[in-house]
Amino acid sequence: MRRDDVEAAIADAYRHEWGFVLAATVRVTGDIDVAEECVQDAFGRAVAAWASRGVPERPGAWLTTVARRRAIDVLRHEASRTRAHAVAVASEDVVEEDVRDERLRLIFTCCHPSLAIETQVALALRLLCGLTTSEVARAFLVSETTMAARLTRGKKKIRDARIPFRVPEREELPERLDAVLSAIHLVFTTGYTAPNGSELVRRDLVENARQLAALLHQLLPDESDVAGLLALIWLTDARHEARVDDEGSLALLSEQDRSRWDRAAIAEGQALVRRALAAGSTGRFVLMAAITAVHSEAASWEETDWREIVGLYDILMLTWPSPVVALNRAVAVSFAEGPEAGLLALATLADEPQLANYGYLASARADFLRRLGHRAEARAAYEEALAQQSNDVERSFLRRRLRELEV
């Protein structure tokens, strides 16, 4: 088999199977660091094995079997108690369907209350989806060095505190749920607009998030915010086919061909939102889904009910005050009341440290200035946003805006 084909297959497996393979291997080792080493070893062995014998029909199952066998070899050097546990868990080859729910165990392990909330979510992104430390750092708007230290401390705490690899009992779930929802949401947002690279979307992360949200909804069907998160994913991702035009350029919501939106996904999300709102929920994911539902109900950009959206953001700010939510609210205000009102709403965020390197703050300000006809100031803001953006599709869009200002 050609080397390029093998490398492409391994890269695809890494993107789509990492979380499954690691979760199944952690179940054997009880140690995240050891499991990561075993999984990396399995991917390394795949290079030669797949080149000589071809890519297996189920790459995830092949990688899981190899990683778990390697884990057994490692644990054979430890106490017989540990060895017996490993052999009992991993003595047979693995079928992919048997390990998919292991991700819920892993995400609840990452989101244990003894860990800081930022560490919980960061670990989930790194371990469940195989995001690089750099990608996780970008999702949190911190430096790569800071994130590397956070991940190391988190894994050490899980090991030293012997945090169990399991889904909590029902009475334990309330204190664990918010971090899990936050982690799944960040997986989705990181995939929906990739932090860097030539593609706008990482479908593997989007699908990971959808599957995890659906699994969690099956586990907790009466939890409104779980339904809200699943609805948010359905409603937001329903627009993915229209986000890039036929030339590969970014299409803003105002420019999208709404006939390309996935109406079945929208119906699924709207039904979840209606049930959650009918139950009286004002949880943050329900409110975020409700905002997205307003967009999905509008037949055109011009028919969008921006005042309703601003009102929902006002409630969301009370429920979950966040600089990013405030930024999104300012954008909604600019369409409900005009770009000057949007600039006033942005003014309070100018010194917000969490947004210091957040390109969407500069791009929002640039758009408001452009709409007001302040071309020189808009150009400077777009250049600032361009310097802070690493995704090629979004960089191309910002360059297009800069060219338009030169005309």
Q: What integer pLDDT is reported at residue 28 of this predicted model?
A: 84
How many Å apart are CA 133 and CA 153, to the nearest integer? 13
Q: What integer pLDDT is reported at residue 166 of this predicted model?
A: 77
Q: What integer pLDDT is reported at residue 131 of this predicted model?
A: 80
* Domains of the chain by residue range: 4-100, 335-407
Query: Can you list the residues of the chain whose pLDDT is less than 50?
Result: 80-84, 86-100
How many Å apart are CA 327 and CA 365, to the nearest integer? 10
How many Å apart are CA 133 and CA 73, to the nearest integer? 28
Half-sphere exposure of residue 308: CA atoms within 13 angstroms, side-chain side: 13
Q: What integer pLDDT is reported at residue 211 of this predicted model?
A: 86
Q: What integer pLDDT is reported at residue 98 of this predicted model?
A: 45
Token pair listed for 93 = 């080859």
Pairing of strands 390-391, 196-197: parallel
How many Å apart are CA 96 and CA 135, to the nearest integer? 27
In eight-state DSSP terms, residue 21 is H
CA 327 to chain centre: 19
